[in-house]
Structure 1
Amino acid sequence: MVYRYRTRWPASRLLTASVAILIIVCAAAIGSVTVGLASLTDARTLLLDTVGPARSQVLELDNALIDQENGVRGFALTASEAFLDPYQQGRRSEQDALASARSSIGTVRPDLADDLDAIGSLAVGWRAGYAEVVISEVRAADAPRADRADAERGKELFDNVRRAVGDLQRALDDEAGKARAELDAVADQVLILVIGLGVLLVVIIAGVAVVLHRILIRPLAGLAAQVRRVSSGDFVHAVETGGPRETVMLGQDVDAMRARILNDVEELRRSNSELEQFAYVASHDLQEPLRKVASFCQLLDRRYSGQLDDRGEQYLRFAVDGAKRMQVLINDLLAFSRVGRITREHVLVDLNDTVAQVLDSYSEVVERTGATVEVAELPSVRGEASLLGGVFGNMISNALKFHGEDPPVVRVEVERTGDSWTFTISDNGIGIEPEYAERIFVIFQRLHHKDDYPGTGIGLAMCRKIIEYHGGTIWLDTGEGVGTTFKFTLPAVEDTEDSDE
């Protein structure tokens, strides 16, 4: 399938667009909240810094006027100059209160500032028409004054002043109520904006998460599922994916790799087919000439024994030995090629029985060499019994073969390490140098001459192939002391599986 990935947006552009939208929406919401907070500040300033102080100052003005009226009345009744102190203090307080109140509300309510001027004029009229007149007359007479007509006229003038002050106080109370209502309204608006901003952020984050899931996560998850399907062996399945440009391009690369793997698998199948044909030829066509060579060489040896000189008989022995070793080599090669290629069902294998059979087959060698074989209690594993028996057989055979002057001592041990069993096969033989730890597992690699220790050099390579076929690893433990120690792992079988078996 051909993808038109060039028409798709790359993931970076999609991410940039999502972040840009998020920033724009958040900036607008934050701007709205900022405006609301500014309005809230203005309303609070109006109530607390303007209207509130003005009300207090008008109250001080009213108190200052009352102090003046009380002082004049007391002076008129007693002719004592001490009563004029509240009068004089009240006049000073009046001027301060008028100035402060005018400064507070002059810029907000000029009409109320005019009311302050009117109150000041009425207060001046009361003092000029009554207070100052009474003070002058009492001082001139140096005696109390109790003229009721003047008192009524003074009360009328002072009531006019108090009435004007009361009207101003009610106006300021109304203004304070309006400011408080406006403050509450703005506070509610700000609260709604903040809640709306929080909800908006949640919605935006959820939206971005959904968008990212649709354009990134879901395509990647789909691609991963298809890759797992291909990696499990379904190489015919074409990898198809959507999403941003990078995901589509990655899907194309994976599909191209799948196609190459499919071609390689087909090539490997053809190669395996040729290998099977070679194995058939090796097991049938090559064995027959070797058998004939060995048979006729043996006939020559028996028929002409004593008639040939020593060199001729030596040549015959060389020919027979070479033919036999070639037969063993071909059989070992066939067995090596069959591991993992000709598979049987993996069953639960009791390794105690397997090792017992191996030791039974080597009983003659064990008796001849005086060997001691110690085998621990072994677990059951899943695999092919014949192949696993070959591993233990090869290891034990090598331990019996490559022994020193002392009788061989072979130990087979096991321990659980995580999800695997680790097997240890050690001996007291001639040992292997650490530099040959990898070479010994290579096919046909021998460390000794065939005349010293017979063999084809395939055994350990076969063991590695069998262990890896069963999902384990094998290695030479170079940290041990005398002798040779091999270790290998096999996957452990769960208890439930063991019970089912």
Structure 2
Amino acid sequence: MRKIFEPAVRLMDRLGYPRKFALMAIVISLPVLAFLFLLISEINRDVSFAKKERLGVRFNHAVMKFFQDLQQHRGMAAAFIEGDASFREKILERQSHIANDIRAIDALNNEYGKAIGITGEWSLIKEKWDALGARVFSMLSARESFDMHTELINDTLSLMVRIADISNLTLDPEIDSFYLMDTVVNKLPAAAEYAGQLRGLGMSVIMLPGDITTGEKTHLIVLSGLCKSAVVKITESMEKVFRTNPGLKQMIETHLTHNNASIYHALEILESRVINPAKAHIGPEEYFDVFTKAGNSIFTLHLSVSAALEGVLQNRIDGLTGKRSLIGAFAALMLLIMAYLFAGSYLSVMDSLSNLMNALKRMGSGEMNTVVSLKTRDEMKLVADSFNEMAKKLTGVMEELKRSNEELEHFAYLASHDLKTPLLTVGSNLKLFHRRYAEKLNEEADRFIADAIKSTIRMEKLISDILAYSRVGTHGNPFGPVDCSEALSISLENLKIDVERSGAEITHDSLPAATGDPVQLVQLFQNLIGNALKFRGEEKPHIHLSAERKGKEWVFSVRDNGIGIPEEQTKKVFEIFHRYHGEKYPGTGIGLATCKKIVERHGGRIWVESEPGRGSTFYFTLPATDKRNGEAA
């Protein structure tokens, strides 16, 4: 099972906790965000779809008004051409209404023409109207006028269907809005056109001398039947709408009843006073008014149904917008909760890690009785318990080690003291013997005695260095802020005689404050500079010290122009008693080993970069000092 998760384990092992939590947050949130994006995009498409439908309703209502006025203009023109001059003023008034209708449609087209692209069809209709309007009062026959009007009206009906197609009305997926759309776009305009044709043809028949012909009666009967059929279809559609959306019944039913009554009344007059008698028994103005009222009732119903359709679409838009807002709010809340829980988890883990790290630092600084106390009850608590158990055992081990070190140190002190005492005695006696019997001994004996004296001095120095080396980790001072420039000055004062004797030129950049043992740092500078003075070449020694801040530590460098070190020796020079030059140069081989031990006690590193004959550069690191509180940064 673990093999399946091995790639994930390797990935997580390479990341810190901030990146782990960030990665998990991204992996979890991306699919959720993608789903929400698709869902909201779908809602936005539905909202845009419904808004475009609503715009189509507005366009169709404006075109329907033009259609209504155009129909009335057809009937008035027929009466005027047949000889009723009283219709002239009515025609002019109706043309004024049509001009207003055209301006209203132009305004909508200018504003929403990109969404509802009907500019070409509408321009053609306006051109036909201009041609028709200019000829109404000229020598047009009644048939020509009727045909031209009817062609223009049919173009207008086609435009209404075109608007419905472009604005998605014909694609509406809901039952109530679909039947409302079908009534507004198809059924009511058809009923209005049948009524309009009955008005126009009836006016012609009434005003013509003589009896009504069989053909004329047949035409009127067909149109009457079509008009009745249209009324029945409108009623059926509205009943379906009412069943689906009962709330619309109160809004539409009164207008529907009035519309049906007006149309049936007009058809009854047509049948009883125009079709059945051999000659029409009704005046043209009365006939015109009856069918005009029927047409007006159709347009009133159209206005009511259009308002209902627009209301349904607006409710749908509001519902979708509300759903979108709710989803957005829910998504934001969910993401906020996820972020809150992730932040809580992250802070909990980081607090636990911080407590463990602080405990480790305290333990590293010597507080072996450190105890970690965590509020969490997860796996970090197990880690803390294990740490406390380890600390407890380690405290016992360290106490035992401390006793052992104290015994060893005491032994080293006694051993060095017991070794130094006879060495001093031997050295003193040799010097005394050499002074008393120098003239009585030959040259070879003098040399033997001088070599013996040098060996005792070297042995004494070796014992002192060993003792100093052993006491680096046990007899150091507590750490604190140390001015490295001051430590360097003290070390140079200690080396004053060697510096003057060698003629060395020692320079340094501005040195920072570091955290450490001031005595041991003086010894560190002194050993490194003394080493550079000792292993100088034929040229005058030049030694330069500098420091560079890198993160939370300072990197110091001591550069010289001495004899250099072979590359294979750069690591060995820090080993105790290692002297790759042998007896050629004085020393015990402990100086650089002591430097290494001092630097490591301070938590740093030491290394050398060198090239034989080109000098050496010794580097070591020390923790930087926080200037605000004097502690390590």
Structure 2 length-normalised TM:
0.57
* Residue aligned with 1:484, SS: strand
Counterpart residue number, 1:283 = 413
Offset from partner CA, 1:90-128 (integer Å, 9 cap, x none): 777766666666656645438979x97996897488358
Taking the aligned partners of 1:160 and 1:343, their CA distance within structure 2 comes to: 121
Query: Contact (CA 8 Å) 2:575, 2:592: kept in 1 or not?
Result: yes
Match of 2:523 among 382, 385, 390: 390
How far residue 188 of structure 1 moved from its aligned partner, in angstroms, is: 3.7
- Asked whether 1:126 is paired with 2:270, we answer yes
* Alpha-carbon separation, structure 2, partners of 1:262 and 1:431: 48
Quote how far apart the aligned CAs of 1:152 are: 3.4
1-side partners of 2:306 and 2:512: how far apart? 92
- Equivalent residue for 2:376? 242
Post-superposition CA distance 1:338-391 (Å, at most 9, x none):
33433435566555554444444444434544x322323543534444322222
| Distance in 2 (alpha carbons) for counterparts of 1:282 and 1:233 | 30
Match for residue 425 of structure 1 among 541, 555, 558? 558
Q: Aligned residue for 1:54?
A: 187
Among 254, 263, 272, the residue aligned to 2:393: 263
Quick check: 1:461 aligned with 2:593? yes
Letter in 1 for 2:349: L
Structure 2: state its 5+ residue gaps. Answer: 1-20, 51-171, 241-252, 364-368
The residue type equivalent to 1:236 in the other structure is T
Matched letter for residue 411 of structure 2: V
In structure 2, the CA distance between the partners of 1:171 and 1:352, relative to structure 1 (3 Å rule), is: closer
Q: CA 1:46–1:489 in structure 2 vs 1: closer, same or farther (change >3 Å)?
A: same
Contact kept in structure 1, 2:426 and 2:456, CA below 8 Å: no
Displacement after TM superposition at 1:227 (Å): 1.7
The DSSP-based 3-state class of the residue aligned with 1:152 is coil
Contact kept, 8 Å, 1:472 with 1:489, in 2: the verdict is: yes
Contact 1:61 1:98 in 2 (8 A): no
Tell me the alpha carbon deviations over residues 388-430 of structure 1, each in whole angstroms, 9 at most, x when there is no partner. 22222212222222233x1441322325445665544333322
Q: Which residues in structure 2 correspond to 1:286-435 (within 5 Å)?
A: 286-296=416-426, 299=429, 324-346=457-479, 349=482, 351-352=484-485, 354-369=487-502, 371-376=503-508, 378-379=510-511, 381-382=513-514, 383-404=516-537, 406-418=538-550, 422-435=555-568
Q: How does 1:56-205 map to 2 (within 5 A)?
A: 56-76=189-209, 106-109=236-239, 123=267, 126=270, 130-131=274-275, 134=278, 150-152=280-282, 174-205=304-335
Secondary structure of the structure 2 residue equivalent to 1:375: strand
8 Å contact from structure 1 (residues 98, 116) kept in 2 = no
SS at match of 1:109: helix
What is the aligned-residue RMSD (CA, Å)? 5.1
Q: In structure 2, how many angstroms separate the alpha carbons of the residues matched to 1:497 and 1:349?
A: 13
The residue that corresponds to 1:228 in the other structure is: 357
Q: Which residue of 1 is the match for residue 162 of structure 2? A: none
For residue 398 of structure 2, what is the amino acid of its counterpart? L
2:477–2:519 Cα contact (<8 Å) kept: no
Identity of aligned residues (%): 21
Structure-2 residue corresponding to 1:144: none
Q: For residue 287 of structure 1, report the CA deviation from its aligned partner.
A: 1.8
Question: Which runs of no fewer than 5 residues in structure 1 stay unpaired?
Answer: 1-11, 138-149
* Aligned counterparts of 1:225 and 1:350: Cα–Cα separation in 2: 30
Aligned partner letter, 1:232: K
Deviates more, 1:165-174 or 1:263-272: 165-174
Q: Distance in 1 between matches of 2:622 and 2:612?
A: 21
* Higher alpha-carbon deviation: 452-461 or 376-385: 376-385
Query: 1:282 Cα deviation (Å)?
Result: 1.3
The Cα shift of 1:437 comes to 1.6
Q: Which amino acid in the other structure matches residue 385 of structure 2?
A: D
Q: Secondary structure at the match of 2:558?
A: strand
Change (3 A) 1:97 1:315: farther
1-side partners of 2:464 and 2:272: how far apart?
Answer: 142
- Aligned residue pairs total 450
The amino acid that maps onto 1:341 is T
Following superposition, the deviation at residue 211 of structure 1 comes to 4.5
Q: Deviations over 1:191-230 (max 9, x none)?
A: 433333333333333344445555x345324423432342
Distance 1:452 1:91, change over 3 A: farther
Q: Cα offset for 1:290?
A: 3.9
Contact 1:57 1:101 in 2 (8 A): no
* SS at structure 1 position matched to 2:610: coil
Q: Distance in 1 between matches of 2:183 and 2:509?
A: 97
In 2, Cα distance between equivalents of 1:417 and 1:297: 49
Matched, 1:486 2:618: yes
Contact 2:199–2:287 under 8 Å retained in 1: no
Structure 2 residue matching 1:411: 3-state secondary structure:
strand
**CA distance, structure 2, for counterparts of residue 303 and residue 480 of structure 1:** 44
Q: d(CA) in 2 for partners of 1:227 and 1:457?
A: 40
